[in-house]
Structure 1
Amino acid sequence: MGAVFVHVSDIHFGQEKGERIHIHADVKQQLILDAKEVISSIAGGRANGILATGDIAHSGTRAEYEEAGIWLDELAKSIGVEIHQVQMIPGNHDLDRSKLSFSGSQILDHIRAGGTDEYEAILNNPTDRAALFARFEDYGRFSFGYNCPLNNEGGFASEMKIELAPGRSIRFIRFNSSLLCHGGEKDECPELMIGARQFTIPRENGVENVVLCHHPLNWYKDREQVREYIRSRARVFISGHEHNPKVSVDNVEEGRDVLMLAAGATAPFKSDDTYTFTYNIIEFDWDEEIDGLCVTIHPRAWNPARTSFESDEKRLGGKHPKFRLQSPSFRNAAELSKSTKSELVFEENVSNSPSLDSSPDNVIENQSNNKEKYLLDSNGYETARLKFFRDLFETERLRILVELEALPSGSNDPITQGLERKFFDMLIRNGKLAIVERLIDKLIEERNGG
């Protein structure tokens, strides 16, 4: 059995007005019921996680992410996974444009008038980077809880690897394609860029890369370079944004394929013959016969006459399109062992520049701490961390850290998100997980008037 994910994209929490509020709420509830039924039939009721390829919110505000978190929790429980097992990337609607400063606007104009060199120069300046990333404040807090932190130096990010068979794994690589978005960008006149810090993704024998990116390749000034790296170093590229489901397999060269999957919109503003409510269930598995990667898609689309989801047989090539991808990384891997057990691993962040913040307090664990991290994961650590960062306000998180004496005495350093994570991890390592869980629940209850 391989790895199975529910794939949603362009959900746009917060866009609804008038009667659409009730219609979209119903569609999202029907998706949860439909996913549960499909996962029960193909995976025994237990999936491996959820993929969200951007535009989770509509305006990038905290209230929208609170609503999204409640829905994602329900979806996760319905498909038999822990609520933290979500891989997500930001879309152009996941930034809060009201937080763009004058200097940030000038920076965007400067990059759009220039190119890759101007973009790299801006990324080299911490103050300029901060002006661009300020718009992702609420998304960043939300995604941080899911262990999908933005790389605040403009590089790619990666924290999850799935073993499909001994010596054969997939790794999820997350791109932020929305850093340069301003609201008026068009695909026919590309202004966005991925940048070399992101597209120089790793190559590792036995590991095939699955890239999650909101905008398709045609939206970028540097699309030719991005395309070269995707075709040479990734096996699957999954995008969203255009609301038009498409899939293709490119034979790059003998023995090397790449699958390009464009998602439809889980919640377009309106459903019609062109755009409708869609989502996918995706299976990743090892193809022993060709020693390659097998990807099976179960496309789901809204039937307005039945007001429910059903198999979509017209947009992605049939009821259950199956793609057998030639995989050089698998063929170059070491010989398989006798074991056939698959497992999910939260791995060392492998980006080519640090995540979270660039201070020495960056909290990504080093290799020597990996074993301990896995033990924390198995004992409720991931769920507690999700609630701590996603569900609590900054003052509430600080209250817990102070009450449990996690903050060093006499420290005047700013309490960054990275430092909060460091102190949180220290509490868990010191055996205080249960106390932290109780305090989180208590603070949420107090805030809600309990």
Structure 2
Amino acid sequence: MLILHLSDIHFRKMEVETAQDPNSFIRNEIKRDAVTQCKSLGRPEVILISGDIAFAGHPDEFDYATAWLRELSEACGSSLDKVFVCPGNHDVVRSQANRNMVQHVHNAIKAAGNPTAYISGQFRDPDARRLLYESLDNYNAFAFQFFCDLLAPERTIAKRDVPLNDGSILRFWGLNTAFVSSSSDRQGDLFVDEASFQIPREDGVVNLAVAHHHLSWLRQSQELEDHLNDVAAIQVFGHVHTNRIAREVEYIRLTASAMHPEREEAPYEPGYNLLDVTVEGTGDNRYLRIAAHVRVWQNAPGGFRAKQVRGSDVWTHSIKLEPWTRPVNAPPTKVVLDAPNGSLGTLPEEASAMNQLRKVGLRFYQLSFSKKSEIAGRFGLLEDEDINQPDYERFRRVFQRAHQRGLIDDLAEAIRNAEKT
């Protein structure tokens, strides 16, 4: 399985699609280099983005991100439905996060003796959790098209299953480190919620955990590090704009370069990664083989090149997996829209049905608000309880109900007809 990994893209409303965009050249070079790499490595099965898609959480920034990611994915032989995202601090609308009432909740969390338990209590309060998540509404509207949108208390982690070559599952967990983010961010003063400490180990499943903020930015850094080291063979972080790879006995931890760092940063080193993940062996002798291709920008002459380790262009690692054998009579594919933690997922055998559902979701996302509302109303998929929910949550519930009532094919046909008008 090939994973194309980007972080800290920082699309700015005032710059994108203008002649004065200082990142358009680098963005084009990343696309050209990724296309070249994918010709030899294969098409990406997942396009992983570890936060900071936008710069100020503006809808136009996310719209541009959607268009550019579609262009990138198709150029690499993949498709937009392969995108998996988690939020970063620049995906937060800071004018909302900086409001007095929101800051009051943030400060109460920071002052709590047990902030993890206190956060759980705030998530149970409708007013408090709305204050904590409202600044991520624009991000969630963007992430909805990939079924990565988040809403406390039940859906605070994005989740996706992708089959590995031996029939086992690589399970992606997208953590939210940005719900207490604002202009007051300080290193060591951000948080994850209780669900981030409950990632389970399962037979035939390899966990990949991705978060925007590096562990050093979290108040619960040691606790989270200990948990991830136990459960997640692959760990991915962004935010610090510095590429690092730590290879330990039971995990590999990758910290990413920024795709669009500030020009004043020293060194100025845009970058991205490609992770080639394979299971080798069977039964009691299974190993997860990871080949990380770290691509970094070189100046004078300009171009992307491999970051080397001991003379090699590839950072390799091997992790012993627990024994597992694929069942002889594996169950058929089944899409699960109400998986644990409120996420969308699949049973662990195949993910093709989920891929098809994401394709329908992408097309639904592209429709205007009025067309989405008309289709949802026509099939009776909106209910009174949805009135006070943000738009992305209302339309997610449309999909859940369409699936539960066997209306996905009818919904897809209505979307096709709406696209023609």
Match of 1:124 in 2: 124
Match of 2:304 in 1: 309
Is the contact made by 1:160 and 1:172 (CA closer than 8 Å) also made in structure 2? yes
Q: Does 1:299 align with 2:307?
A: no
Aligned equivalent of 1:262, options 255, 259, 265: 255
Match of 1:164 in 2: 164
Opposite residue 325 of structure 2, the aligned amino acid is: A
CA distance in structure 2 between the partners assigned to 1:293 and 1:108 by the alignment? 40
Deviation (angstroms), 1:377: 4.0
Superposed, which structure 2 residues align to 1:270-419 within 5 Å? 270=263, 273-288=266-281, 290-313=285-308, 318-327=312-321, 331-334=322-325, 350-351=339-340, 353-355=341-343, 374-375=352-353, 377-378=355-356, 381-389=357-365, 391-402=366-377, 405-407=378-380, 412-415=384-387, 416-419=394-397
Is the contact made by 2:346 and 2:354 (CA closer than 8 Å) also made in structure 1? no
**What is the number of residues matched between the two proteins?**
407
> 289-298 or 24-33, which moves further after superposition?
289-298
Q: Does 1:429 align with 2:408?
A: yes
Match of 1:361 in 2: none
Deviation (angstroms), 1:9: 0.2
CA distance in structure 2 between the partners assigned to 1:171 and 1:10 by the alignment? 22
Deviation (angstroms), 1:428: 4.9
Match of 2:31 in 1: 32
CA distance in structure 2 between the partners assigned to 1:309 and 1:209 by the alignment? 30
Match of 1:92 in 2: 89
Opposite residue 325 of structure 1, the aligned amino acid is: I
Cα shift readout 1:191-220 (whole Å, capped 9, x = no counterpart): 112132222101101111000111111222
Superposed, which structure 2 residues align to 1:143-182 within 5 Å? 143-153=143-153, 156-182=156-182
CA distance in structure 1 between the partners assigned to 2:84 and 2:270 by the alignment? 21
5+ unaligned residues in a row in structure 1: which ranges? Answer: 252-256, 356-363, 443-450
CA distance in structure 1 between the partners assigned to 2:202 and 2:417 by the alignment? 42
CA distance in structure 1 between the partners assigned to 2:145 and 2:317 by the alignment? 33
**TM-score, normalised with respect to structure 2:** 0.86
CA distance in structure 1 between the partners assigned to 2:349 and 2:293 by the alignment? 35
CA distance in structure 1 between the partners assigned to 2:39 and 2:206 by the alignment? 27
C-alpha change, 1:228 and 1:244, in structure 2 (3 Å) is same
Deviation (angstroms), 1:150: 1.2
Aligned equivalent of 2:201, options 188, 203, 221: 203
Opposite residue 429 of structure 1, the aligned amino acid is: I
CA distance in structure 2 between the partners assigned to 1:345 and 1:429 by the alignment? 14
Is the contact made by 2:173 and 2:209 (CA closer than 8 Å) also made in structure 1? yes
Match of 2:419 in 1: 440
Deviation (angstroms), 1:317: 8.1
C-alpha change, 1:348 and 1:205, in structure 2 (3 Å) is farther
Deviation (angstroms), 1:34: 1.1
5+ unaligned residues in a row in structure 2: which ranges? Answer: 388-393
Deviation (angstroms), 1:39: 0.5
Deviation (angstroms), 1:167: 4.7
C-alpha change, 1:249 and 1:396, in structure 2 (3 Å) is same
CA distance in structure 2 between the partners assigned to 1:428 and 1:142 by the alignment? 24
CA distance in structure 2 between the partners assigned to 1:366 and 1:162 by the alignment? 9
CA distance in structure 1 between the partners assigned to 2:6 and 2:244 by the alignment? 14
Match of 1:23 in 2: 22
Cα shift readout 1:197-245 (whole Å, capped 9, x = no counterpart): 2221011011110001111112222222211211111111100000000
CA distance in structure 2 between the partners assigned to 1:139 and 1:209 by the alignment? 24
Task: Report the secondary structure of 2:290's partner residue.
Answer: strand
CA distance in structure 2 between the partners assigned to 1:335 and 1:152 by the alignment? 35
CA distance in structure 2 between the partners assigned to 1:278 and 1:181 by the alignment? 25
C-alpha change, 1:292 and 1:346, in structure 2 (3 Å) is farther
CA distance in structure 1 between the partners assigned to 2:39 and 2:375 by the alignment? 39
Opposite residue 184 of structure 1, the aligned amino acid is: S
Deviation (angstroms), 1:393: 4.2
Deviation (angstroms), 1:121: 1.9
C-alpha change, 1:424 and 1:308, in structure 2 (3 Å) is farther
Is the contact made by 1:159 and 1:346 (CA closer than 8 Å) also made in structure 2? no
Deviation (angstroms), 1:97: 1.4
C-alpha change, 1:236 and 1:178, in structure 2 (3 Å) is same
Opposite residue 149 of structure 2, the aligned amino acid is: P
Deviation (angstroms), 1:56: 0.4
Is the contact made by 2:161 and 2:345 (CA closer than 8 Å) also made in structure 1? no
Task: Report the secondary structure of 2:236's partner residue.
Answer: strand
Cα shift readout 1:312-368 (whole Å, capped 9, x = no counterpart): 326x984111111123xxx232368699xxxx99766654x335xxxxxxxx5897x
Opposite residue 257 of structure 2, the aligned amino acid is: G
Deviation (angstroms), 1:164: 1.9
C-alpha change, 1:348 and 1:193, in structure 2 (3 Å) is same
Is the contact made by 2:233 and 2:252 (CA closer than 8 Å) also made in structure 1? yes
Is the contact made by 1:301 and 1:312 (CA closer than 8 Å) also made in structure 2? yes
C-alpha change, 1:429 and 1:20, in structure 2 (3 Å) is closer
